[in-house]
Amino acid sequence: MVTTPATSLTFEEYLTYDDGTGFHYELVDGRLELMNPPTIQHFLIAKFLEQLLDTEMKRLGLLWLCLRETGVRTGRNKSRLTDLCVVTQEQARELMNSSAVFQSPPLLIIEVVSPESIKRDYRYKRSEYAALEVPEYWIVDPLEGKISVLFLEEGLYEETVFTDSQEIRSRTFPELAIIAEQVFNAGNLER
């Protein structure tokens, strides 16, 4: 993760920032932090989960959206990029013609861990998403072969870890039937 030499930005300046490179940045205490491009494994896992959640929302007739790589404002001059987030159509409608950075908590956020994002996903985003009151946060870790599902309880996350053939439990999607192995197998090209 590289911090760019840009001067301190406000959240409002971040929403319109474009250095012409096409790179993605998070805003951390007014500083831009460059996000490395994800691995193919990362993309495949995120795509699998997005398709799974889209199918479940359609089956249940929910007016929700599962979006990839949107922003979430987590502080005064702080915004994080999510791998996946589930929001209501009303939340999306509010941002229809502006930068896709949500200022209200998504229903669910999923991060897929990469070697350079371990501390960010497990520590920083965990505390920032809890402070924002995101009710459910998944940390999908193909490096360790585990999926941590965190539910917000009295301002802090309670964590349950799923591995191998354990069925993932979600409050946002209580009827979802998926095991951890299926998620990690989606990250392989040899299926």
Closest CA to 147 of 49, 1, 26, 37: 49
The superfamily CATH assigns to domain 38-185 is tt1808, chain A (3.90.1570.10)
Question: Beta-carbon neighbour count of residue 141 at 10 Å?
Answer: 22
Which tens digits make up the pLDDT trace of 53-89? 999 999 999 999 999 999 999 999 999 999 999 999 9
d(CA 159, CA 8): 35
In residues, how long is the chain? 191
pLDDT of residue 189: 85
Give CA torsion, residues 76, 78, 82, 85, to 10 deg.
0
What mean pLDDT is predicted for residues 170-178? 96
**Residues 44, 47, 94, 127, CA torsion sign:** negative
* pTM, two decimal places: 0.92
d(CA 71, CA 53): 19
Which tens digits make up the pLDDT trace of 13-64? 898 898 888 888 989 999 999 888 888 999 999 999 999 999 999 999 999 9
d(CA 178, CA 191): 17
Res 2 pLDDT > 50: no
From edge to edge, which strands make up the β-sheet containing 78-81? 2-3, 31-34, 25-28, 78-81, 71-75, 101-102
